[in-house]
Each structure stands twice: as structure tokens, then as C-alpha cells.
Structure 1
Amino acid sequence: MTVTPPADPCPAPFNLARHVLGDSAARLPDKIALQVLRETGAERWSYARLEAAARGCGTGLLARGLQPGDRVLMRVGNGVAFPVLFLGAIAAGLVPVPTSAALTVAEITRMAGGIGPALIVAEDGVALPDPLPCPVMAARDVLAMEALPPCDWAMGDPERLGYVVFTSGTSGRSMAVGHAHRAIWARRMMHQGWEGLAEADRLLHAGAMNWTYTLGTGLMDPWTVGATALVPAAGVPVEALGLLLKRFDATIFAAAPGVVRQVLRGALPALPRLRHALVAGESMPVALADEWRARTGTDVHEALGMSECSTFVSGSPLRPAPRGAAGYPQDGRRVMVLDAVEGEGVLAVHRSDPGLMLGYLGDEAATQARYRGEWFATGDIVRQATDGAISYLGRADEMMNAGGFRVSPLEVEAAFAGLAEVAVTEVEVKPGVRVIAGFHTGDADEAALQERAALTLARWKQPRLWMRVDALPRSANNKLNRRALRALYAERAVP
């Protein structure tokens, strides 16, 4: 177990939105809080205006007859309406539920059925539940509420439900995760334990606003400390991010590793203002981190986290992770490696962590199944070194078994760094027989791939078959989807 000094308890009464915006808007009313970036310019919002819009939105939502605790399903993309609605609902004591604008009718229908929304706020053209479970408000009306009188901050128990997010669903079923207002209090441990974030920073996050990584690291954390959040507008191509980093003087860049890889493929000018980069969402290959450092002259700091508990293990400017490791437990965290054999086991977080979810909405059995006594088992397989550094090996349900040996897909994929983009998973080639399969993109020569495997991997770790794909399947948040790889193999393997 790794024990660090406990975090200060969250004060009560408390409101998440007030914690994010209230102090910064009072201290820095005219400072730019948010810039939504386009290749042709940017939309700028000051702290005073952002707070006024959020609290005006809260007033408008309550005027529609919504009651404290009612859930507001968000069908809104990357624009100012998203944070205004999210924080405005929380300010008024409502519970926002952000979702990806890319979801289909079938997907959002199932999700809505599990949360029971009292209102849906949607942009034109975005899929809605069928049949509609409640009234629908146009997203454009959110910004029109800016002129309304500000709602009072709905103060209350920090343990009460504050917002709901959905897991990525790459394991087969997306789960509704309920977070308390206190979740934002836990994020203070990340400001120096991972982000190295200060008031003078300009943090550009490349992800969609509905993703918890973007919502926390890209928006709420900068506003909590009085920094400026930079977010690309919907439709801005990844290839443009390098130029946007320079043009808008970003000091911190945050993205998924897959996005970092795409940025490095494009035009990347000198970035004299950039201090470092942050990655999360999936493991950062060592070779990719090396390339980022070589191209930009800045470090990249990784974090481990999840929808259920944001991030809690990370490297940081103050304590960089050893090469190949994700980092250390942040100060204030209690972390355990369960069922450890030579330091390798399941990563777990103590029940007392202020950032841990309240539970899966409507599924108490699934919630309790994640606990081992007082420990929440993340499902991540890690190795902890004697100095406390933690290396990520993969999801428990993604670990491969080759000849009785447990094999991390990340270890196998790392063997092909610089040669091709490769992903591996275990597939069933006939009933009861499973082998490691490699999937590669582009014009990679399979003979060369197999030769590299023979030179760098023990025999039982080497892929037994290869399949070329146009692109590796990824979620909306750019996470590799190994389940989709297995489905693709099964589809092609049908006689």
C-alpha cells in the first residue's frame, strides 16, 4: 500500500460550480477564462461573463420548473454552451449528464432510460432518445439565458449527487457513474501532483468537452486556479493543433496519446511558450514520449485514472515518472496493489478517496462488485516498484494468456515502435483455442513485423497471426478498442 498525507476534507456546505468559478470570477473578472479556438480566430469569454452566463442559465433552468436533484441530459458539442450548461445546472442544484454528441439514437435511448432526465438540452441534428422521455430545450437557448438574473449558489452536502458521466463502453456496456460535488475538491491533488498548473497558464486540451479528461483537466481545473482554458471548436482538424498551440501561446498541452501521435505527424512549429504536455486516457508508449521530447524540447507527464475516480497516479514537473512508468500516487491518495505477485497486481483506491464515485446509477450490485473490502478495484493491472512508481500493464479483461503466461498487450505493442502502428489482442481461432493476433495499419511488411517480434519478444509473446486494417478502431475519446479488434477478426474469419 502507498499512503500519503490525507487530503483536507471538503468543506460544507459546498457547491462544485461555485468552487470552480466563484473565487476566480471575483478575483479576475476581466481575465479571459475560455477561448474556443478555430483556425480563423477564437471566441473569448472572461471570467465575469462565464460566471454570469452559468448562473443565468441556472435561473433559466429553474424557471422551467426543474427541481433540485433533477437530471439534465446534455446533447451538446464543443462550444461555450457546454460548460455554461454544465456549471449552470450544478450552480442551481440540478444534475447535468454530459454525453457525446456522436452517439446514435439507440445508444442515447438506452442511456436516457437509465438516468431518468427531467430535461434534454440538444443542438440541432444531434440524436435524441426515441421515444422522448421529457421536454427538449434547444442548446442555443442556453446562451440566451446570460441576461437573466444570477441564480443563488445551491449550497449543500458535498456528498450529494453533483453530475453523472458515462464510462467509455469499450468493455461492452456503458455505465452511468454518479459523482458527488466533492469530486472537484479531490482535483486539487492533481494541480501539482500531475498538471503543474498555475494561474498564469494557458492550457490547450484537444479532447471533446463531454470526456471527463477534458471536462476536468481542460476546463474546471484551469478555472479553479484562475488560468485560461483553450479548447478547439468542433470540426478543427487534429493536424491544426500544432499551429494552434503556437498561435494561442499555450503553456500546457493535454491530449490522449493517440492525438499526440497525430500532432507529431503534422506541422509542428517551435513552441517557445510550451512548458510540458499531459497525457491520459490510454498508456503512453515510451517511444512516443521520446519523440515528443525530441520534437518539442518539453516533457510529457502521464496519469492513470478512470471515469469512476478521475486521475490518482501520475508523473509531474515536480516529480517526473521513471522511464516506462506512469508515475506515483498523488499526495493525499491511498493506493494499493491487490493480489500482488512480485509487485504486479490490480490497482485499487481506498473507499475514502474524495474523488471516488458515489456509484453506478441504478446498479448497486455492479457498484459493490468493484470493492474488495475498503478498496475500489480499478481493473487495471500494474507493477509497483520499490520506490512506489507504478507502471501500467493493461486492463485485467485485456490481459492475454499465452501458454499459461500472462502477457500485457502494451509490452507486445511496444516491440514494434518505429516500425508500424500495431495493436494486439487475443482471438479465438477455433473453439477453445486462443492466440495472440497482431493488427497493423499502412504498408507494414508482415515478414518484417514477425522478424522484429522474434528479436525482441519471447516466443510465447509473439503474435501468431497478423491482420492489416485501414485504421485501428478507437472510441470517440481516441482510446484503442480491443473489443472491436476481436469482433473484426471474428467477422473476417467467418468462412
Structure 2
Amino acid sequence: MLSHQPQADYEQLWRDFRWPSSTAYNIGVDVCDRWANSDPERIALIHKLPGGGLEEVSFGQLKERSNRLANLLTRLGIGEGDRVAVLLGQCPETAFSHIAIYKMAAIAVPLFSLFERDALLYRLNDSGCRAVVTDRIGAAKLAAIREQLPALEQVLVVDEVVTDELDLRQAMALESDQFEPVVTGGETPALIIYTSGTTGQPKGALHGHQVLLGHLPGVELSHNFFPQPGDRIWTPADWAWIGGLYDVLLPALHHGVTVVAHRMPKFDPEGALQLIADFEIRNLFMPPTALKLLRTLGEIRGRWALSLRTIASGGEPLGEELLQWAEQQLGVRINEFYGQTECNMIVSNCEALMPIRAGSMGRPAPGHRLAVVDPEGQPLGVGEVGVVAVKRPDPVMFLGYWNNEPATRARFVGDWMLTGDLAYQDAQGYLYFQARDDDLITSAGYRFGPGEIENCLLSHPAVRMVAVVGKADPLRTQIVKAFVVLNRGYSGDTELVSALQAHVKTRLAPHEYPREVAFVESLPMTVTGKIIRRALRE
């Protein structure tokens, strides 16, 4: 999408950018068949198996396997517009399942492999999935709730099975390796991906095939004009989420870049660094929680032979201290980016193109028209805090919430899609995140977000992780309350409470210091690593 050679002028890059003009587009053909037809031996995936072995999968093999699965699903009665869930971790089956579903013009529903009963029930029933591709563990979970899933007809299991479910490998072996992809357009439905539920019940964001094209400018910027020769990418984020699937796997396959597939049952900072070194990984998408856990290792320079070129991160603001730590210890300046499940990768930093400004999530990626607006959708001036809004049409924007037209309408004011995130924009177009609109704290007449306070507290040596919320107060409307997870060797006593309060008072403002501090063992988080402040407020 962008020129792969760094350009000196962001404004010129933006002015020259054009979205593809062709109306026919299919994700599966783009990320698989296009490469398989021209360079079938090119390695698409390197899969580190749980037992320690390796599996390399070429683009030619991805095409063969996705064609066989598409034929199998077709024979089982799955057709255009039908929903097919993928309940798997980072593995080749996840990749070729998505490709097959897209080539059929069915609709993929990625599901996190650690979801349990209620999460699976809600998403499968809400989307009306007719089939699920999963492994033995997922099949066992589905068996326990199968009677409550009236639309579900087929469960295809990757592992050898001893139940009545269909053995995926055996069934695929009987199918042809030739399949004629359905001709789809940019707005042909391709994907229902559920929001992480930080502000209520998860909603199914329906995207068209164009969503991958919409991601590319932001992905390419966040990895300093990705790809460059020798690039190889990995993320600890699961491929069931928009970040793992559309910020890493599918953009990399679009560019013919090898993806390392390895999902840790639980993120292990030392294990992650060893993986990065062993596989000579050059590009990382690291969610903020993973970066914070890496930081707990302290001094890591020289302990691993790293060959990193880029690190991209999004989901929560990182703070200058964490950025400086990464640059010193990992040798790379992190490019923060911003987006949502409904409209992802719309803002990005790019160290190769423009200066990174402390506290900023970047500038609008080429092709995406953004503004900071008031509740009526009127653009605000430089430095004024308002809601980040994206103008339609935009290929990365969701088509709507699945079976929830009222919620879809509520996201728009005219042609502006309101993200619900508060920010301000400086004179050069850099955006500075402030808070979710429902995370905003009102205290003694001041309105402010939790991010700056959290970053300040994280700079104290006692604090490992922290979340800040507003607590109702009859005098001040709200007071600031901090929930703190401590580093080893520190005790959560009144002396430390006073020290943390003073730490904020002397660095931010008197109205922002936490009048209450609670020491906790852990913070409530979504499975994507975002803090659920709603749970803390409740």
C-alpha cells in the first residue's frame, strides 16, 4: 500500500496515498493464492510446536490445505454468508481455516481458545455459527454446551478424536486440493470479531473483505515501512483478536513475510525473549501488558542476541518511562498506534518518517480521515479535548454490529464514527489519548483521564502494575482511587501509600493524586490484556 522506502515528508505521503480502485477483492486470494501461484515454496509460517519441534508451512501448502477445507465445508452444506467459528490458538490450522472461509465468502468468527462456557455460548449463539473448527480441548468445551447451540451443525476437530465429531485431517484428505474462490467485493461480509467487553457485553463487529486493505497503511507505518528485506514477525497476542489477526498474521501474509506462530499458555517474559532470539524475529507487535511484564526483568541488555528492527504496540498508552526502558534494553524505539475492533490501525507513530512525541499515539495513517469532535460531531480546535472520530467511508471501518442496529446507529453522528475515546490533537496532527469517555474522572471541578496518573505511578520503583478510577465523593464529585500491584520486596503499608501520593502530587497536580490506594494481587483484565476499569469502579 505504501512505498516500502522511507519518505521524509509525512504530509506528502498522505497527499499521494490512494486506496485501491478495484471493487473485486478477496482476503483469502490476496494473502494465500496470490503468493502460492507465483512463489509456492516461500515460507508463510514457522510453527513452534508445544513439544519443541518445528513445522514450516509454505504458501503452496496453505493454498492446498485451505482449498481442501473449503471443499469440505461446502460439502457439509456451509455456503456464502454462513458463519464459521475458529476456536484455535496460533497454529497453521487457524491460518488456513480463515483463508478457506474467506475464499468461500462465508464469515469467519475468531474465538479465543481460552474462552470458557459462558463466553462461547454467548458468541456462538449471537453469531449463529453453523460450524466450528477447533482442537480437542475446544471440542470438549463445546460438547458440554452443545444442546444450547441450536444453530451449530458441525464441529471439525484438528486432533484425532474419540467422539463423534469430525476428524479434520482425515476429512480434508478426501477432498480435492482445487477450489475456485468466490468473487467478493470490498464490502462483502468476511468477519465477525467480538469486542473485548471493556464497557459492557461484547458486540460482534462485522467487517467486509476490505478490512485487511484498511489495516495496511497503519501496519506498514508502525513497523517503519514494513516490510523490509529480512523481516520476520511474531506477536504474543492470540490470533483470535483483531491485533493478532489483522495487525500481524494477515498483513504479513499479504506482504509474503514469514510469521512465527507460537502461543504461550501464559506470557513468559524470558521465554518470549528466547523465542525472539532463536527465530531471529525482527518485528514484534507487543501489547502493553506484555511490555510491562518484560520490564519487570529489569536489565536485559546482552542476555539475549536480539535482532529486532521494530516494535509496535497499541491498546493502552505506554508512558515515556516504558518507552525509554524499551529503547535502552531492547534497542528499539516503540511505535505506538491506536485503533479499535470497530475501526483499527487508524493512528500510528513511525520513527522512520516523523519524530515520536512523548505521550502521543501518533498521527492519522494515510487514507483515514480523523478529527477530535464535540458530542454533536463538530471538529474541535488544536489542544481541545473531545472524542476521536473517524469519517466514513473507510475500508477499515466495521459495516455494523451483528444483529444490533441500535448500537450501530449510536456510534455515528452524521458521517463521523465516534470511538468513545477522548483525546486532543496538536498543531502537527499528533493525537494524545486522555481516557475512554466513561473512564473520565471529574474531581473538584477538574476533568481528567487515568492514563497520566497511571504512568506517573508506574515510574515509582514499588509499582508493578496500576489502574486508576474515579470513586464517588459527596464533596469533590469523585476522588482518585488507585489499585496497585506491587513489585517484590515492597509492603503495602501506610508509609508506602503516603509515598505514592507524594510521588503523584510532586509530578502532576494536587487534584490528580490518589486519595485512596488499594494494594491488590492482580487487576481485572480482558483476555486481550486491557484493564477493566468498570469492574474496579463497581
TM-score between the two structures when normalised by the length of structure 2:
0.86
More displaced, 202-211 or 316-325? Answer: 316-325
Paired amino acid for 2:127:
I
Q: 1:407 to 1:194 in 2, by over 3 A?
A: same
Shifted more, 227-236 versus 143-152: the winner is 143-152
CA apart distance, 1:57: 1.1
Evaluate the alpha carbon distance shift between residue 6 and residue 173 of structure 1 in structure 2; reply closer, same or farther with a 3 A threshold. farther
Matched, 1:89 2:101: yes
How far residue 234 of structure 1 moved from its aligned partner, in angstroms, is 4.3
Q: Pick from 323, 326, 338: which aligns with 1:292?
A: 326
Aligned to 1:23: 34
What is the alpha-carbon distance in structure 2 between the residues aligned to residue 4 and residue 279 of structure 1? Answer: 26
Q: Is the 8 A contact 2:33 2:59 kept in 1?
A: no
Match of 2:508 in 1: 457
- Tell me how far apart the structure 2 counterparts of residues 345 and 259 of structure 1 sit (CA, whole Å): 29
User: Secondary structure of the residue that 1:25 maps to in structure 2?
Assistant: helix
| 8 Å CA contact retained: 1:92, 1:151 | no
Within the candidate set 200, 203, 220, 1:192 is matched to 220
Paired residue type of 1:223: L
Where does the alignment leave 5 or more consecutive residues of structure 1 unmatched?
Answer: 488-495
Map 1:8-19 to 2 at 5 A: 8-19=19-30
Name 2:83's counterpart in structure 1: 71
User: Contact (CA 8 Å) 1:201, 1:250: kept in 2 or not?
Assistant: yes
CA distance in 2, matches of 1:35, 1:236: 20
Any residues of structure 2 matched to 1:41-440 within 5 Å, and which?
41-126=53-138, 127-128=141-142, 129=145, 130-133=147-150, 134-140=152-158, 141-144=167-170, 145=172, 148-195=176-223, 196-198=225-227, 200-235=230-265, 237-239=267-269, 240-266=271-297, 269-316=303-350, 317-339=352-374, 340=380, 342-419=383-460, 420=463, 421-428=465-472, 434-440=478-484
Q: Label 1:432 to 1:191 Cα distance change in 2 as closer, same or farther (>3 A).
A: closer
Please report how far the alpha carbon of residue 10 of structure 1 lies from its aligned counterpart in structure 2 after TM superposition.
4.9
Aligned to 1:491: none
Residues 4 and 428 (structure 1), Cα distance of their counterparts in 2 relative to 1, 3 Å cut: farther
Asked if the contact 2:83–2:108 (Cα under 8 Å) also holds between the matched residues in 1, the reply is: yes
Q: Give the aligned residue type for 1:441.
A: V
- Give the Cα–Cα distance (whole angstroms) in 2 for the partners of residues 377 and 142 of structure 1: 42
Greater Cα shift, 64-73 or 34-43: 34-43
CA shift, 1:142, in A, is 3.9
CA distance 1:150–1:367, change in 2 (3 Å) = same
Matching residue of 1:441: 485
For 1:236 and 1:64, how far apart are their aligned partners in 2? 36
Report sequence identity in percent.
24
**CA drift at 1:148:** 3.3
1:291-325: CA deviations, max 9, x gaps? 00000211110110010011110001323431221
* 1:230 positional shift: 1.2
Distance 1:142 1:432 in 2: 60
C-alpha distance in 1, partners of 2:454/2:498? Answer: 16
Range moving further from structure 2, 167-176 or 335-344: 335-344
Say whether the 8 Å CA contact 2:195–2:205 is kept in structure 1.
Answer: yes
Deviation at 1:95, TM superposition (A): 0.8
Q: Residues 287 and 161 (structure 1 numbering): CA distance in 2 closer, same or farther, change over 3 Å?
A: same
Three-state SS of the structure 1 residue aligned to 2:498 is: helix
TM-score, normalised on structure 1?
Answer: 0.93
After alignment, is 225-234 or 159-168 more displaced? 225-234
Greater alpha carbon shift after TM alignment, 375-384 vs 33-42: 33-42
- Following superposition, the deviation at residue 236 of structure 1 comes to 6.2
CA contact (8 A) 1:4 1:334 kept: no
* Structure 2 unaligned spans of 5+: 1-10, 159-166, 375-379
1:10 to 1:53, Cα distance in 2 relative to 1, 3 A: farther
Native 8 Å contact 2:219 2:345 kept in 1: no
SS for the counterpart of 1:14 is coil
The CA deviation at 1:38 is: 5.0
- Contact 2:389–2:416 (8 Å) recurs in 1: yes
Provide the residue aligned with 2:164 in structure 1: none
